[in-house]
Structure 1
Amino acid sequence: MRDLEFVVGDQVFVEITPIKGVMRFKKKGKLSPRFTGLFEILEKVAALAYKVALPPNLAGVHNFFHIFMLRKYMTNPSQVLNYEPLQLTPNLSYEEKPTQILGRWERRLHNKVIKMVNVKWMNHSEEEATWGKEL
C-alpha cells in the first residue's frame, strides 16, 4: 500500500472498469489501458475520497472517487497529451467500434484461404489499426 495524498487543483487520471471481450486502444484483456482522462480535483470530501471535475458527457457518473481509483499526473513540459473525449457509459467503460477498412489480405494455407482485413477503430489513428479475420 502506498501513502497517497492529493490537493485541490491536482490533475488525475480516473480508473475505468475493464469489461471482458471489449477492446480498448487495440489491446484486449490484461494489456488494455485502465485509466482515462486528465481531470482536476475539486475538493477533498473525506480521508480517502475526492470530488473530481468531470466533463458534461460524463454527467451520469458520480463525481466522487476513492483515492485508489485515481492516479496522479506528473507534469512533464515535453509531454503533450492528445485528449479526445470518449463516449463513456455510466460505469466508466466504452465499446470500440470499427470505422474504416484500410486494407485486405489473403492468407493461403494448404487447403483453405483466410481473408484478413486491416480495421481502423473509432478514437484511434491509422497507425493503431489492427488486422483481423473478415466476417
Structure 2
Amino acid sequence: MTVRFATILDRILAAQKEAMDESAGLQKGLDEMIEQRSDGTLYYLDRIWVPLKGDVRTLIMDEAHKSKYSVHPGVDKMYYDLRDRYWWLGMKKDIAVYVSMCLTCLKVKVEHQRPSGLL
C-alpha cells in the first residue's frame, strides 16, 4: 500500500509543479494558505493540495473507491476518508459525481428503489 501511495505522491508533486509553472500564482487568498514542505509538496491546512492538472484527482478517487481494501464506499464515507489527507476546490462535489457514475454502485442500489409507474 505504501508503494502505491508513493507513486500517487510523485504524480501529485509533478502536477503541482506543472500547475505552478503555468500560473504565476494561485487563486487570490489561496496563496497565503498554501505552504511548501521540505519534500517540495504543497500543503493546504496540513492536507496535500491536489491540482486539476494531470488527472491525479481521478487516480486518487479510483484508489479510494475501487481498490481491494475498500468496498465501494458512499459519498460521505469516501469524502471523510479523503479529506484527512487531500484537498482541492470542489472536492465533495467531485466525489459525489464520481460515486454517482460508478456502475457497480448503481447496480447494487437499484434493488432498493421502488419501481416507477404501474407494474
**Is the TM-score greater than 0.5?**
no
Larger radius of gyration: 1
Task: Give the structure-1-normalised TM-score.
Answer: 0.24
Higher strand content, 1 or 2: 1
